[in-house]
Amino acid sequence: MTIPSVGILGTGSYLPEKKMMNIDLEKIVDTTDEWIVSRTGIKERRIVSDDQATSDLAYEASLKALQRAGITAEQLGLIIVATVTPDMTFPSTANLIQERLGAKKAASFDLAAACSGFLYGLTMASQSIRTGLYQYALVIGAESLSKIVDWEDRNTSVLFGDGAGAVVLGKVDEGYGFLSFELGADGGGGDFLYLPGGGSRCPATEKSVKNKQHYVKMNGKEVFKFAVRVMEQVSESVLEKAGLLKEDVALLVPHQANLRIIDAARKRLELPEDKVVVNLDKYGNMSSASIPVALDEAVRGNQVKRGDHLVLVGFGGGLTWGGCVIRWDQEMTSA
């Protein structure tokens, strides 16, 4: 039996309408537009409304990805939602999407690997298509991070934003699609970026709320050092596994956490700026949604053509990291 090639058949994204600018944050915490732009590259971010939850964003992104892939929800065999901000603990956000899309034949589950979650989801979904378990899979990265950020903490509140990106995976022409993957984790760095409250270790109590246990905690400096190291290592490793050289890369689609981290990876790969997708100026860090939203915008902006080699690479809490190389199969439309 020949193992089929698997790739991305369609992409979609959704961003909430409400924009929060850096000057809006100046009114809430002791920060400046100048500090945020020079240290991170972020100028604005999108924020969900009070009545919107992660599944609402994920649903809209999924509709677009399905439409561009030219398949119906009923054809899906698998739905994975990568998120650290599910609507609730259970049922999973993927179950909610499955019902809302009418994807009656799909198995569905959430995946928690923080900002690397989308890459973890791509890897798992593509392997299950390669082995013949499913024909089509929907992989979504979706977050409402504004709901878990301490708006009084300038170390974190300026960084994050809300949004969702989705892709449909299926078989592609031989030699196209995913050429290599890499995933990794270092649980020893778990306390560099985490949310302590709401689980079985620290369930919600009056005290946990008062002590701000339900908000993101981060050691920015440690995450920064780790991020620069793994972004470079993983990019080089997935290229090597795919049998490609730096000069073969048409587009780098990195996790959007900090422009200085992205630049370090870009320089290591010796890529010009126009071969790197950057949208964190508009959206901030959307954790698992960052890469699929960036990919969707690149595809719709006609930055990707058939035969191009794309490197997707990211890192996140856990600590976790991941990357893959794709030889793009689709002739893209800017629909």
**Active site residue ranges:** 115, 255, 285
Q: Spell out the residues 6+ positions from residue 64 whose beta carbon is closer than 8 angstroms to its own.
A: 10, 11, 12, 13, 14, 166, 296
The minimum distance between CB 268 and ligand UT7, in angstroms, equals 17
**Residue 67 binding ligand UT7, by CB under 6 A:** no
Tokens of 29: 């915490």
**Residue 82 binding ligand UT7, by CB under 6 A:** no
Q: Which of 149, 223, 231, 324 binds ligand UT7 (CB under 6 A)?
A: 223
Q: Which of 113, 149, 227, 239 binds ligand UT7 (CB under 6 A)?
A: 227
CB 230 within 8 A of CB 184: yes
The minimum distance between CB 240 and ligand UT7, in angstroms, equals 25
The minimum distance between CB 165 and ligand UT7, in angstroms, equals 15
Which range of residues in 97-105, 150-158, 176-184, 204-212 is near ligand UT7 by CB under 6 A? 150-158
The minimum distance between CB 332 and ligand UT7, in angstroms, equals 27
DSSP reduced 3-state for 114? helix
**Residue 109 binding ligand UT7, by CB under 6 A:** no
Which range of residues in 31-39, 53-61, 77-85, 234-242 is near ligand UT7 by CB under 6 A? 31-39
**Residue 220 binding ligand UT7, by CB under 6 A:** yes
Residue with smaller CB distance to ligand UT7, 86 or 316: 316
The candidate with the shortest Cα–Cα distance to 78, out of 168, 138, 154, 16, is 138
CB 110 within 8 A of CB 86: yes
SS3 letters across 247-267: HHEEEEEECCCCHHHHHHHHH
Alpha helices in the chain (DSSP H): 22-26, 33-40, 54-69, 93-101, 117-130, 154-157, 206-210, 220-241, 259-268, 280-283, 290-300
Q: Which amino acid is at 174?
A: E
The candidate with the shortest Cα–Cα distance to 298, out of 284, 312, 288, is 312
Residue with smaller CB distance to ligand UT7, 39 or 275: 39
**Residue 219 binding ligand UT7, by CB under 6 A:** no
Please report, as residue ranges, which positions from 266 to 295 form the binding site for ligand UT7 (by CB under 6 A). Answer: 285
CB 135 within 8 A of CB 170: yes
The minimum distance between CB 29 and ligand UT7, in angstroms, equals 7
**Residue 158 binding ligand UT7, by CB under 6 A:** yes
Q: Kindly write down the DSSP assignment for every residue of 304-328, as one continuous string.
A: --TT-EEEEEEEETTTEEEEEEEE-
Which range of residues in 35-43, 64-72, 100-108, 235-243 is near ligand UT7 by CB under 6 A? 35-43
DSSP reduced 3-state for 90? coil
Q: Which of 35, 180, 214, 250 binds ligand UT7 (CB under 6 A)?
A: 35
Q: Which of 22, 83, 85, 258 binds ligand UT7 (CB under 6 A)?
A: 258
The minimum distance between CB 74 and ligand UT7, in angstroms, equals 35
Q: Spell out the residues 6+ positions from residue 63 whose beta carbon is closer than 8 angstroms to its own.
A: 12, 101
Q: Is 51 exposed, middle or buried (0-12, 13-18, 19+ CB in 10 A)?
A: exposed
**Residue 40 binding ligand UT7, by CB under 6 A:** yes
The minimum distance between CB 257 and ligand UT7, in angstroms, equals 3
**Under the rule (CB under 6 A), what is the footprint of ligand UT7?**
31, 35-36, 39-40, 115, 154-155, 158, 193, 218, 220-221, 223-224, 227, 257-258, 285, 316
